[in-house]
């Protein structure tokens, strides 16, 4: 581990005090000036921080290169996904060694079996080569890749900055030519009409909120506005149902939903609402051909499943009543069956419901042998399919793609993520443990380690957490993580409240005025790993990103002695400042997650009590690495920039804090896979250095 008191010296941000006044409280913010990325002084400061970070981590260069090579050598770089059937084609994507981006392909279907995926596929048609479209751009991302129902046209949208605003183009797949249609400033997603004559898309407002649905008839000079949502809490999205009968327009806030359906065969028609919004009622719609299936929480916190007729979609008849034992996440409907996707006992589950003359049969859950795993719906585009595709993974099982025969129940493994380089997967093992939170709540922890790691109180640990928006950090396999495990590190996930691992109540008890449970749960998980004999505090590095970065900033203030280091990626560490400003992207919709501190003094006081930036104090902190992106539109770079500046100016002792800003990236970091691997290698090497394993 390098000495902090050696050169170089860290940058010092200028102090330019401004006052923030709300509810009688005055907060003096000395670093708000860092918000303006067009200011040369701001850019110079960020570059100085990058230079300092590079100098402070220069001794890790050989380790970074070693880890990058490990990731590269263990990854099958020329590979392709399992082809998925839609209409007369099998669709898939491939990667080529040395190329940053994926290539989207298809091949004409010949029979019901997908083509072999361990080599070249005869008759392959390249629809879109991401490497060609990206060109020399430092950043490249796709917002949609959408083939028309007749297979003739491809709609795709491109972001070359990282700000999540895309330009949509149409390609004639029969000729390879681009149509003259070009739609700028669109958001994620798209939906074709049934005949492929019209495409629907969304646009964002000044706060980056998708709020409009537009209709573009191919070749038309002007587009038509289909729907606009004035309520700033609501986002809109658009999609074509699996059976291609309807264009679905979904509007949703954090707590309330509304869905409209438009006849896909009449793209110029008027959408019809399924059920008018009711405050606090969330629902999703699945078109089941002769009826609708509605997943909703109108009568159960963990969601029920109902049916509705096409003629009277707002009248719901309960099919499965929600209960406390499982959280219904959604359904996939097909001509002859329905698949339930739900959560039970902190694990995900898929269950088959067959259509019967009377309606639907009882759910038949798919069973798995591992005690900890994640199962999830795969790509299933065919309405009349007799097989269902799903994904499976665990902390020790690489991502696997299966088809299950719905008549016989027989499963077929189509592909498992290859792990090269002589890795012996049997050398690793996984555990599920439970920490006890301050209020007595049991908090699940998932762990993975090499089998030869001793539980002697000295194991190095990386403890990961998120805990917001009901997003569950279900166990997943990671090739880059092997570079930690093979050096003796235990990787653990704290399934803290605010996520959805144990149902809706788990989320409700980690948001709004119970948000501190998220932080104390994470601290309890760290303390459990010490009490249970795994490690000691200085051998734990905590890690989280975005809202998980808020978690990192909060626990740094609340329990700095519980960790030896903290990695905060695109961290939401200036939460109160952001949530107080409705002009900023995402703020208004976030009020249903955090509360509205503008209007409610109690919310203001509560958020100020935990918001990381406001609570930096003259105490000793563990080592901290903050990573951000200049073009991030979700968590602005200014948040970690201000946080780091304040830590340096306020913390006791020689605080060891680094800020790394990606100057050509968005919320997800670098876009090319090799660039992303190098960024992972940077973070992993810092973690190993902090754990004394460099």
Amino acid 397: pLDDT: 98
Amino acid 210: pLDDT: 95
DSSP-derived 3-state class of residue 179: strand
Among the listed residues 284, 632, 656, 689, the single catalytic one is 632
User: Based on C-alpha coordinates, what's the Rg of the chain?
Assistant: 25
Amino acid 671: pLDDT: 65
Does residue 1 have a pLDDT over 60?
no
Any residues with CB less than 8 A from the CB of 642 and at least 6 apart, and which?
29, 31, 32, 34, 573, 574, 613
187 is catalytic: no
Dig out the tokens for 368 from the structure: 């798995």
What's the pLDDT tens digit per position in 564-612? 999 999 999 999 999 999 988 778 889 999 999 999 999 999 999 999 9
Concatenated DSSP letters of 296-336: E-SS-TT-EEEEE-SS-TT--EEEE---SS-EEEEEEE-SS
**Average pLDDT taken over every residue of the chain:** 95
d(Cα 582, Cα 242) in Å, to the nearest integer? 37
Does residue 79 have a pLDDT over 70?
yes
Amino acid 672: pLDDT: 79
pLDDT-derived band at 163, boundaries 50, 70, 90: confident
- Burial class of residue 549 (count of CB atoms within 10 Å of its CB; 0-12, 13-18, 19+): buried
pLDDT-derived band at 2, boundaries 50, 70, 90: very low
Cβ atoms of 97 and 131 within 8 Å: the answer is: no
pTM as predicted:
0.93
112 is catalytic: no
CA 450 from centroid of its chain's CA atoms: 27
DSSP-derived 3-state class of residue 256: coil
Dig out the tokens for 316 from the structure: 């719901």
What's the pLDDT tens digit per position in 535-550? 999 999 999 999 999 9
Amino acid 669: pLDDT: 61
632 is catalytic: yes
Amino acid 666: pLDDT: 60
Q: What percentage of the chain has pLDDT greater than the value 90?
A: 90
Among the listed residues 190, 394, 546, 629, the single catalytic one is 546
Among the listed residues 104, 474, 667, 689, the single catalytic one is 667
Q: Phi then psi for 517, rounded to 5 degrees?
A: -60, -35
What's the pLDDT tens digit per position in 641-653? 999 999 999 999 9
Dig out the tokens for 292 from the structure: 């609708």
Q: How many residues does the chain have?
A: 694
Cβ atoms of 101 and 672 within 8 Å: the answer is: yes
d(Cα 487, Cα 495) in Å, to the nearest integer? 24
d(Cα 549, Cα 553) in Å, to the nearest integer? 6
pLDDT-derived band at 120, boundaries 50, 70, 90: confident
């Amino acid at each position: 581990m390098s000495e902090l008191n050696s050169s170089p010296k860290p940058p010092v941000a200028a102090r330019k005090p401004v006052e923030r006044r709300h509810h009688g409280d005055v907060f003096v913010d000395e670093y708000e000036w860092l918000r303006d990325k067009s200011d040369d002084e701001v850019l110079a400061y960020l570059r100085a921080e990058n230079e300092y970070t590079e100098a402070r981590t220069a001794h890790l260069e050989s380790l970074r290169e070693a880890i990058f090579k490990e990731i590269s050598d263990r990854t099958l770089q020329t590979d392709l996904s399992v082809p998925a059937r839609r209409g007369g084609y099998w669709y898939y994507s491939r990667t080529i060694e040395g190329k940053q981006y994926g290539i989207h392909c298809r091949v004409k279907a010949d029979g019901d079996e997908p083509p072999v995926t361990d080599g070249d596929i005869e008759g392959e048609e390249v629809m879109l080569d991401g490497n060609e479209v990206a060109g020399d751009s430092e950043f490249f991302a796709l917002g949609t890749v959408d083939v028309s129902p007749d297979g003739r046209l491809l709609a795709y949208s491109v972001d070359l900055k990282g700000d999540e605003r895309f330009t949509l183009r149409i390609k004639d797949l029969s000729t390879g030519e681009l149509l003259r249609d070009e739609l700028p400033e669109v958001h994620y997603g798209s939906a074709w009409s049934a005949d492929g004559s019209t495409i629907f898309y969304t646009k964002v407002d000044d706060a980056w909120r998708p709020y409009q649905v537009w209709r573009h008839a191919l070749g038309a000079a002007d587009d038509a506005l289909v729907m606009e949502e004035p309520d700033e809490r609501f986002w809109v999205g658009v999609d074509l149902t699996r059976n291609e009968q309807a264009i679905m327009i979904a509007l949703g806030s954090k707590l309330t939903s509304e869905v409209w359906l438009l006849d896909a065969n009449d793209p110029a028609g008027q959408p019809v609402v399924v059920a008018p919004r009711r405050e606090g009622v969330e629902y999703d719609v699945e078109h089941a051909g002769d009826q609708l299936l509605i997943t909703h929480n109108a009568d159960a916190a963990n969601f029920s499943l109902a049916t509705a007729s096409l003629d009277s979609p707002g009248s719901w008849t309960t099919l499965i009543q929600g209960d406390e034992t499982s959280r219904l996440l959604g359904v996939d409907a097909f001509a002859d069956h329905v698949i339930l996707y739900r959560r039970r006992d902190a694990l995900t589950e898929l269950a088959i419901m067959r259509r019967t003359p009377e309606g639907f049969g009882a759910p038949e859950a798919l069973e798995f042998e591992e005690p900890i795993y994640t199962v999830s719906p795969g790509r299933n585009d065919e309405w009349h399919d007799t097989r269902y595709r799903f994904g499976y993974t665990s902390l020790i099982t690489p991502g696997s793609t299966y088809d299950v025969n719905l008549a016989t129940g027989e499963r077929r493994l189509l592909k498992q993520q290859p792990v090269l380089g002589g890795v012996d997967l049997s050398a690793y093992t996984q555990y599920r443990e439970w920490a006890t939170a301050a209020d007595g709540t049991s908090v699940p922890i998932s762990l993975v380690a090499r089998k030869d790691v001793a539980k002697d109180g000295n194991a190095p640990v990386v403890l990961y957490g998120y805990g917001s928006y009901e997003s569950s950090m279900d166990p997943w396999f990671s090739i880059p993580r092997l570079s930690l495990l093979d050096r003796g590190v235990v990787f653990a996930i704290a399934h803290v409240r605010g996520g959805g691992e144990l149902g809706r109540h788990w989320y409700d008890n980690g948001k709004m005025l119970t948000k501190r449970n998220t932080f104390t749960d994470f601290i309890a998980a760290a303390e459990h790993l010490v009490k249970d004999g795994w490690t000691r505090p200085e051998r734990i590095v905590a890690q989280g990103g975005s809202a998980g970065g808020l978690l990192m900033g909060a626990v740094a203030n609340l329990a700095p002695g519980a960790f030896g280091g903290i990695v905060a990626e695109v961290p939401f560490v200036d939460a109160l400042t952001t949530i107080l400003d409705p002009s900023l992207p995402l703020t208004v919709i976030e009020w249903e997650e955090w509360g509205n501190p503008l209007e409610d003094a109690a919310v203001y006081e509560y958020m100020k009590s935990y918001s990381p930036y406001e609570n930096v104090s003259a105490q000793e902190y563990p080592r901290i690495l903050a990573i951000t992106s200049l073009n991030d539109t979700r968590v602005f770079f200014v948040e970690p920039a201000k946080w780091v500046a304040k830590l340096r100016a306020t913390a006791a002792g020689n605080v060891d804090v680094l800020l790394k800003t990606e100057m050509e990236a968005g919320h997800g970091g670098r876009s090319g896979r090799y660039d992303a691997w190098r960024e992972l290698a940077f973070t992993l090497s810092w973690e190993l250095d902090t754990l004394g394993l460099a």
